[in-house]
Amino acid sequence: MATTFYPSAHLAELFFPLASDENAMLQVIEKIAISDYYQGFETGIFHQPTTAKKIRTLAQQHALHVTQWLTFELLKEQLNLSSLDAALREKSIRRACELVHLAAECGTTKLSLVSGSDPGDAPRAEAMKGFSEAIVRIGEEVGQYEGMLLQIEPLDRFAHKCQLIGPTSETVEWMTALRPDCPKLYLAWDSAHVALNQEDLAESLRLAAPLISQLHLANAILDPQTAGFGDYHMKFGEPGFLTQTTAAHIINTARHLPLPGELGAISVAIEMRTTDQDDLWDNERQCREFLQRAWHA
């Protein structure tokens, strides 16, 4: 049976200049909610209780899936869930657990995060052990909320972001072993990081399929000798690798894989960051049309 997908708007990136203005982001969500296309959206964490309540109400009224990222908050506060510094890691875990409850106020269904930096070959096992403990504790907080899951996005290990959690095969092995202690743990698959890890996109999807809870169609320049090399959340198309054909290939490949049936549906979003100089809603339109073309190719 083919997997069901739904289109999601990555608002934290598409409306990046507004990300720290909760009222402005609420207005964006209100406009997205009444569109006839998106069935979900992604943001950072909201702190104002009144804003969170409005977002939760909008999501319920319009049957929207809410994804929120802890990443922005943790980076802002210079926290690191996989730090080799036990005190910093503990501080990071406690803060992440607090943010779980803020996310719940928005009706979040997918709470998302990334690991910290890769410390290198020798101390990697120690960092993985610490990060595993962090994920189990955060997962216990997530487990208090019916309908909420915890998802980790593997990043590139060697090219640009150089994160602890990276290559697909290694990530799947680690997550599968951790699943008994964190049963609501899933994987947020990102095309840019898979490509920067020099992995085959289809093979990565196949390996990760039983754990995948969302797809990010993200572009990157893969040639280290080319300006802009790495994951800068660039626009789709050349000089990056994410062409219309590649995006369609990702979606069509995923459609025929055994993704988690218990989720009902998997979100697909374009990840493209805007700047103050951009026409934000025109960029949203371009991403929406790109996704629609890939969807029906």
Residue 2 has a pLDDT of 57
pTM for the predicted model, two decimal places: 0.96
Q: Is 16 exposed, middle or buried (0-12, 13-18, 19+ CB in 10 A)?
A: buried
Q: Are 33 and 62 in contact (CB under 8 A)?
A: yes
Overall number of domains in the chain: 1
**Other Cβ atoms closer than 10 A to 136:** 15
Nearest alpha carbon to residue 216 among 1, 7, 2, 3: 7
Residue 189 has a pLDDT of 98
**Other Cβ atoms closer than 10 A to 67:** 26
Residue 217 has a pLDDT of 98
Q: Is the dihedral of CA 123, 125, 126, 132 positive or negative?
A: positive
Distance CA(76)–CA(236), nearest Å, equals: 27
Q: Is the dihedral of CA 12, 16, 19, 21 positive or negative?
A: negative
Contacts within 8 Å (CB) and 24+ apart, 89-93: 89/130, 89/134, 92/134, 93/133, 93/134, 93/137, 93/138
CA 123 to chain centre: 26
Q: Each residue's pLDDT tens digit in the chain (297 positions)?
A: 456 999 999 999 999 999 999 999 999 999 999 998 999 999 999 999 999 999 999 999 999 999 999 999 999 999 999 999 999 999 999 999 999 999 999 999 999 999 999 999 999 999 999 999 999 999 999 999 999 999 999 999 999 999 999 999 999 999 999 999 999 999 999 999 999 999 999 999 999 999 999 999 999 999 999 999 999 999 999 999 999 999 999 999 999 999 999 999 999 999 999 999 999 999 999 999 999 999 998
The CATH number of the domain where 180 resides is what? 3.20.20.150
- Position 187, amino acid: L
* Tokens representing residue 28 in the block: 């964006």
- Position 192, amino acid: A
Residue 36 has a pLDDT of 87
Domain that holds residue 224: 5-295
Nearest alpha carbon to residue 154 among 96, 126, 114: 114
Note the maximum CA span of the chain: 51
Residue 243 has a pLDDT of 98
Residue 120 has a pLDDT of 93
